[in-house]
């Protein structure tokens, strides 16, 4: 099944060499049926798939944030930088804010944030009720940070 929201965006891979930025086209995806709290960044050519909290992306547009293998911070008024950490190193990509904001608006049209939080809480509660006491997960242990490696 295809995601409810898919948006192509262009970013610039930042390197240590001045003027040596390269353009990368990334697909942003949101699938509310799969996980209403997560967004996906798919890099081309087997470059990886990164899944993390929609809230993290939204907050990182305004203030520096980090969760797991993802770092996000605003860069001036019109851009944002994302760091993707893996065992092979770190990839730093700079994006214009506008396409990311449009993507987030479309995700909120599909599933409003308050609905997402209510659904996440209901899933956690259902998991706790179904699991034996020794296997029950603490509410704070549920998260969406970090990469999915394919």
| Count of structural domains, the chain | 1
Which residues span the domain enclosing 36?
5-129
Q: To the nearest whole percent, how much of the chain has pLDDT over 70?
A: 72
Please check whether residue 117 lies inside any domain of the structure.
yes
Distance of CA 12 to the CA centre of its chain: 17
**Is 50 inside any structural domain?**
yes
Q: Is residue 38 part of a domain?
A: yes
User: Taking 90 as the threshold, does the pLDDT of residue 29 lie above it?
Assistant: yes
Report pLDDT for 133. Answer: 43
Predicted TM-score (pTM) of this structure: 0.72
- Which residues touch 4 (CB under 8 Å, ≥6 apart)? 30, 31, 32, 33, 110
Q: Which of 28, 13, 36 is nearest to 109 (CA)?
A: 36
55 belongs to a structural domain: yes
pLDDT greater than 50 at residue 142: no
Q: What is the pLDDT of residue 67?
A: 95
Asked if the structure places residue 10 within a domain, the reply is yes
pLDDT of 86 over the 50 cut: yes
CA 64 to each of CA 14, 111, 115, 127: distance values in angstroms, whole numbers, following the listed order = 17, 25, 25, 32
3-7, 29-33, 65-69: segment of lowest average pLDDT: 3-7
């Amino acid at each position: 099944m295809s995601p409810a929201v898919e948006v192509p965006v262009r970013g610039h891979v930042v390197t240590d060499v001045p003027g040596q930025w390269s353009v990368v086209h990334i697909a942003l995806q949101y699938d509310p049926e799969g996980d209403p709290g997560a967004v996906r960044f798919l890099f081309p050519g087997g470059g990886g798939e990164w899944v993390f909290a929609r809230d993290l992306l939204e907050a990182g547009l305004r203030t520096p944030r980090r969760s797991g293998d993802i770092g996000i911070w605003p860069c001036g008024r019109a851009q944002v930088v994302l760091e993707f950490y893996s065992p092979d190193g770190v990839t730093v990509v700079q994006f214009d804010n506008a396409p990311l904001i449009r993507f987030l608006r479309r995700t909120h049209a599909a599933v409003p944030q308050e609905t997402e939080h209510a659904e996440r809480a209901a899933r956690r509660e259902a998991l706790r009720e179904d699991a034996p006491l020794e296997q029950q997960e603490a509410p704070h242990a549920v998260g969406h940070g970090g990469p999915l490696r394919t």
